[in-house]
Structure formats: C-alpha cells, structure tokens
Chains A and B, each alone.
Chain A
Amino acid sequence: MPDSVENPLIRLSEALAERAAFARALVVGIAVPGHRMRSGILWRKDVVVAAEQRFPKAPDATVTLADGSAFAARVAGRDPGTNVVALRLDGTPDPAPLGAGEPQAGALALAFGAQEGGVCARLGVVHSVGPAWYSRAGGRIDRRITLDIGVSPPEEGGPVLDAGGGLLGMSTLGPRARVLVIPAATVSGVVDPLLSKGRVERGWLGLALQPVLVPEALQAEAGYPRGLMILRVAKDSPGAQANLHAGDILVTIGGESVTNPAMLARHLGPDSVGKQIELRLIRAGKSLSILVTVGIRPA
C-alpha cells in the first residue's frame, strides 16, 4: 500500500490505535476470587476506581496493569450514589494524567476495558450530553453523557476517551443496558472522601416520598400545585425527630419548591449534613414550617 500516508482511513485507524496506546497505562483488570474479572481505571498512583454496582462484597482484590504487573488491592470505599468504588494499592507507577475531555454529541468516543492479558477497545460516538442528574441514592452526576455503543459487564468501569485523548470519564451500565459515562469531575469529587472515610456522606431526612398533585382546595394555601407526599417516616430519623408524619405534603425545602425528587436531592448533598433546613408542609389542610436537622444517609 504505497498510499498509506495519504489514505484517510488508515490515518484515522492509526490515530485511534495511538489513543489506545495512551489508554493502556490507565486500564486495569480487577480480580476477586470466585468472580469474573472486571475493569477499572488507574486514577492516580496507588489508587484505582471501578464501577460500584455489582462489585463483589469483598475487602480485597488483585489489580493487574496492562503490562502484566499485578498488585494486591484493598477496597477503600464504595459510593453507590455515583457508582464509584475506590481501591488502594501499593507501588503502582504514576500514570501521566490525561487532560479533561469535553463531551460533545456526535463526537467520537473510545471506551476501554481490561481483558485477560491486555486491553480491549470500543469505538462509538457520544450519543447525548445533558445537564447534571441525580441517582436514587442521592449522588450528583455532573453531566448526563450517553454513548451509542454497547459495553459488556466485565468492561464496565474502564476509561472513556475523546478523539483528542482527553478523559471523558468512566463507563457505566445504566438502565436498559444503556452505556453512560460518569464524568471525570464526578469521580474526582468522590475519590478523596472514599479513600479517607470509606464512603460519601449525603443528607438524609428519613422520608419515603411520592410526587402528588396538591388538591385544588389547598393549592392557594400551599402556594404550589404540586409537592411530595410523605408515605413513611423512618424511626428515629431526622424527619421523625422533627415530628413529620405520613400524609404530610412537602411543598418547599429551603424556600424552594419541590415538585420532583431531584429538587429535593439538590438540597441534600454532602454539604447539607448537620445543617438546619426549613421545610414547608401541608398538614390537615394547613400550611406549616418545620426546621429539621439534616442527618447522614445510611449506607
């Protein structure tokens, strides 16, 4: 093939393989006895991150780098809210940090995973980029990034790079096997708490809630047509201590309306723990304000 330098397909192919060579230094295989090998990212020297969901409930693992070197690893902390588990190792190389990638719908994306004896790669495009979103456990994920490719469960947790070699984040299997990317910024935000405390503490009131339409007769009193009805109050929870009851309709938190659960999640992040917050409720047809001290969401 004399024209390889001119052939754009070959140039593209070579550029992709070059990105894969970058990624090799970051991709790790994680082995827990009795379980399939899974993938992770060498986040920095002696720290590996991987996908928390379906990660075995084991205290230890063996981490293998792409060059074949193996390290004993300890599970330092898990955060189901952002799907990150952090492992601590001893004596790994310091991976050259990748620049931050900028997700753009339609741009190429490369997802990497570990495979017995090396690295595997998938090429696709960024399917969509959306605003921050919240998981059921209250985790804030800074961007909603989806890919148009499939990733097999053992590859989940590996790095996703953009065409420039920037790190977009960690691959994750979302609902209906849709592949999401947990942005690098989100992973960065939870790694240190996981290493130091073993978990990420978030706010908790101890309430089970469901969105409701405020009955018409009460809408003027409530000031809003929708709210969240309390279905249960956990025993000894901050909600129970503040005397909240099943049947109360929560209309505002910290002065802002709560028409959907994400609005509540926004007020109950890591910074909210231990702080007092004002709730406005409709109870027995009357509006009332209650101060509650935010607790720590149980693991």
Chain B
Amino acid sequence: MGAAAVAIPPFLRVAVLASNAAEQHRLATLVEQCGHQLVELAASPHAVLTDGAAGADLASAAVAVGRVDGGFAGLLPADADATQIDAALRAVAAGLTVRATTAETRDFDPLPEEPPVLLTPREIEVLAALGNGLTNKETARLLGISPHTVKFHIESLFRKLGVTSRAEAVARGMQQQIVEF
C-alpha cells in the first residue's frame, strides 16, 4: 500500500436517476445528506443512485433502491437510510458489489407458514431486546422484570429454538415471521 494507494476522495460525484420528480428529489436529498456532490449523469460520476428507472444497462457503478431487476452493482431496500446509501455508493465506486443482509420480503412472497415453535409474547420481547444488543440487566429494566426472569426466558428461547448463543437465537427467532394486514 503506502505511496501506491489510490487517494480516496472525501466525497464522491454522484448522479441521480429516478422515474419521477418526487423520487428524484428524495434521492438527491439523500445524496446531499451523505455529503456527496450531485452531478449530471453525463459528467462521469463516481457512482449513480437510481430507483431502477435506468434499467440494468447503466454502465457506471450504480446503486438501486427498492424492488428492481438484479443487474445493479448495489441493491438496497426502498427504505435504506443515508448511512446505508453512503456506504453503498462508496463501495460500488470502489468496484464492489453491495447487497443488504436482510433480504427484502416481496409482496408476492408466500405468507410465512406457521412456525414450528411458537414463542410467547414475553419471549418475543426478550428476543427483540437481545437483537438490540441489550444485556440481561438492561432487558430486565426495559421490561420491568427481574434479571432472573430474563435469564429464565432466555433459557426457554434457547431450548425452543435449539440454539446455544444469543446471536443464533436472534438470527433464528426473527426470520420474517412478521406480516402486515
């Protein structure tokens, strides 16, 4: 590395390409929040942020937000925030591919089947606290129960989900069971 390393610009030149004026404005605002410079598509930007209007044939490094065809270097969910968009724009400008870790559920996916093990409301609350990185003591304070009871619920979660760590419990327990009606 050292002297040979390419200088990383503090901000990127980014073009926005959206299918309508409202979306164009929203994406442009996000780019500005990231501290990048908005440029026209013709001004050879480092990266392009699009809602998919451009199609997959866009030559430059492009990040698409929302449900679109898979031919983009970066794919983010529609509700991606400025931090995620900033990270994705920098990554595609550096020639990397970006995908969100949580696969976005699509409207057309089947409704989830009834899970093989059902959690109680308390277990779901404890699991959500684990997912937010809270300690037993913090979880107890949040839920207004004793740390001993929290431990009891965590043991029950581990048993039901067949896991041995908090991280596994969170990964296993939060698998797309939430539906909206």
Contact = CB atoms under 8 A, between A and B. Distances in A.
Nearest to A282: B121
B122 A215 contact: yes
Contacts of A136: 105-111, 179-180
A213 interface: yes
Interface string A97-140: 00000000000000000000000000000000000011111110
Given A34-B55, A35-B69, A208-B180, A53 B120 contact: no
A204 interface: yes
A286 B147 CA distance: 27
Contacts of B38: none
A52 B177 CA distance: 24
Interface in A171-218: 172, 174-175, 203-205, 207-215
Contacts of A1: none
B161 interface: no
Contacts, number: 119
Interface stretch (A20-28, A61-69, A261-269): A261-269
B87 interface: no
B133 to A, nearest CB: 19
Interface in B130-181: 177-181
For the complex, would chain A's binding face be called helix, strand, loop or mixed by DSSP majority? loop
- By size class, the interface of chain B is 20 to 34
A211 B110 contact: no
A83 B177 CA distance: 21
Contacts of B181: 138, 203-205, 207, 209, 261, 264-265, 268, 297
Nearest to B103: A175
Contact of B52 (A33, A57, A135, A268): A57
A231 B108 contact: no
Nearest to A229: B121
Nearest to B19: A57
Contacts of A265: 111, 181
Interface string B92-126: 00000000000001111111111100111110100
Interface string A137-169: 111000000000000010000000000000000
Contacts of B56: 35-36
A28 B33 CA distance: 44
B39 interface: no
A259 B108 contact: no
B27 to A, nearest CB: 14
Nearest to A228: B179
Q: Which has the most chain B C-beta neighbours within 10 Å: A34, A36, A80, A226?
A: A34
Contacts of A214: 120
B119 A207 contact: no
Interface string B46-60: 000001111111000
Contacts of A137: 107-108
A211 B67 contact: no
A39 B108 CA distance: 18
Given A58-B19, A205-B181, A208-B179, A135 B121 contact: no
A260 interface: yes
A247 B68 CA distance: 35
Given A54-B67, A212-B119, A231-B178, A261 B111 contact: yes
Nearest to A212: B121
B111 A175 contact: no
B111 A135 contact: yes
B124 A210 contact: yes
B118 to A, nearest CB: 4
Nearest to A32: B55
Nearest to A54: B69
Interface of B: 19, 51-57, 67-69, 105-115, 118-122, 124, 177-181
13 contacts: A34-B57, A35-B55, A53-B67, A54-B67, A80-B106, A80-B108, A137-B108, A139-B107, A139-B108, A204-B181, A209-B180, A210-B124, A212-B124
Given A57-B52, A134-B110, A209-B179, 4 more contacts: A34-B55, A54-B67, A203-B181, A265-B111
Interface of A: 32-36, 52-54, 56-58, 80-83, 133-139, 153, 172, 174-175, 203-205, 207-215, 226, 229, 231, 247, 249, 259-262, 264-265, 268, 297
3 closest cross-chain pairs (CB), A and B: A34-B55, A80-B107, A137-B107
